[in-house]
């Protein structure tokens, strides 16, 4: 089985798209299972739809105004940005034809969001998944449900408003990255124990947290640094899940871990800075990194 795992990272998802371009050009993008978080939910679905070209266009032509509408906290809203522009983007690119293609795709595509009411992950998927105490699951049965789940997966809590899904109006969903930045658990729970696997992990953040030699005095700077530390902790836990599975698996598992060698955006670790000139650089970096990892480590570079 060939698996794709796509991490969160907002605008930094351009790095993953660049890596996907390389995989596609080298006939390595025929996946059987795809798992995504946050910006990775869009990447997961469009990959299943066979539209990596659409992803390229999105990440090369998107600005903050195309995603976010700034709000005034003094008006009583529990978020900094309205995401109606993002909803329009998803609605535009996840066409009825693309949705039908995704549902008819023979593999499984899934992505997660965090439910504020349960505090757990909710995994939206095109097919039933193996049950696990760490997440609830929703099998996608309509385009609207797919859109709601994707919007919930991408909406960073506090920064962006929670999503109330049409199919379950009693719930509110926020970014899946609050529990899984790299959604590995659902993958290992659904791998066959009787066959070999090839897993491509696309992370939009470096392996090591950037260390800084400065004093933080601005409240926003403190918040961003705290978020960076939080993201690092979650990411390490996600990768540990994958590492432990590889150690105990009775079959051969090749894992290609593709990530940047530095923080792509030190000022906006959440990825809420859609600057297309930077995203173009990150996309090129993603393709180059994928080539290096796969060429230099044909048996995988993750232990």
Catalytic residue positions, numbered: 38, 175
Look up residue 257 and give its two tokens: 């871990």
Our measurement of the distance from residue 90's CA atom to the centroid of its chain's CA atoms, rounded to an integer in Å, reads: 15
Residue 174's H or E segment, with its range, is: strand 173-175
Q: Distance of CA 273 to CAs 51, 132, 280, Å?
A: 24, 35, 13
| Sign of the torsion angle spanned by Cα atoms 240, 243, 248, 249 | positive
**Whole-number Å distance between alpha carbons of 41 and 88:** 16
Q: What share of the chain is helix, strand, coil (3-state, %, to 5)?
A: 45, 15, 40
**Whole-number Å distance between alpha carbons of 283 and 18:** 4
């Amino acid at each position: 089985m060939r698996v794709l795992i796509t991490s969160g990272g907002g605008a930094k998802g351009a790095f993953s798209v660049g890596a996907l371009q390389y995989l596609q050009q080298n006939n390595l993008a025929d996946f059987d299972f795809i798992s995504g978080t946050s910006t990775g939910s869009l990447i997961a679905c469009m990959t299943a739809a066979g539209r990596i070209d659409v992803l390229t266009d999105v990440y090369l032509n998107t600005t903050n105004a195309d995603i976010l509408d700034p709000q005034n906290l003094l008006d009583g809203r529990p978020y900094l940005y309205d995401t109606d522009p993002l909803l329009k983007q998803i609605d535009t690119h996840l066409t009825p034809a693309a949705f039908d293609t995704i549902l008819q795709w023979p593999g499984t595509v899934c992505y997660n969001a965090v439910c504020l009411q349960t505090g757990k992950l909710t995994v939206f998927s095109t097919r039933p998944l193996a049950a696990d105490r760490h997440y609830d699951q929703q099998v996608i049965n309509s385009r609207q449900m797919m859109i709601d789940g994707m919007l919930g997966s991408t909406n960073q809590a506090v920064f962006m408003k929670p999503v109330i899904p049409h199919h379950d109006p009693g719930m509110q969903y926020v970014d899946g990255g609050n529990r899984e930045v790299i959604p590995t658990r659902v993958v290992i729970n659904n791998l066959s124990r009787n066959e070999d696997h090839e897993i491509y992990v696309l992370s939009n953040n470096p392996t090591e947290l950037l260390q800084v030699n400065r004093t933080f005095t601005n409240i926003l700077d403190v918040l961003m640094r705290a978020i960076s530390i939080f993201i690092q902790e979650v990411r390490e836990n996600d990768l540990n899940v994958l590492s432990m599975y590889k150690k105990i698996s009775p079959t051969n598992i090749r894992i290609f871990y593709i990530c940047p060698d530095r923080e792509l955006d030190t000022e906006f670790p959440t990825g809420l800075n859609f600057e297309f000139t930077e995203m173009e650089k990150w996309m090129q970096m993603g393709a180059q990194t994928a080539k290096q990892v796969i060429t230099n480590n044909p048996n995988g570079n993750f232990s």
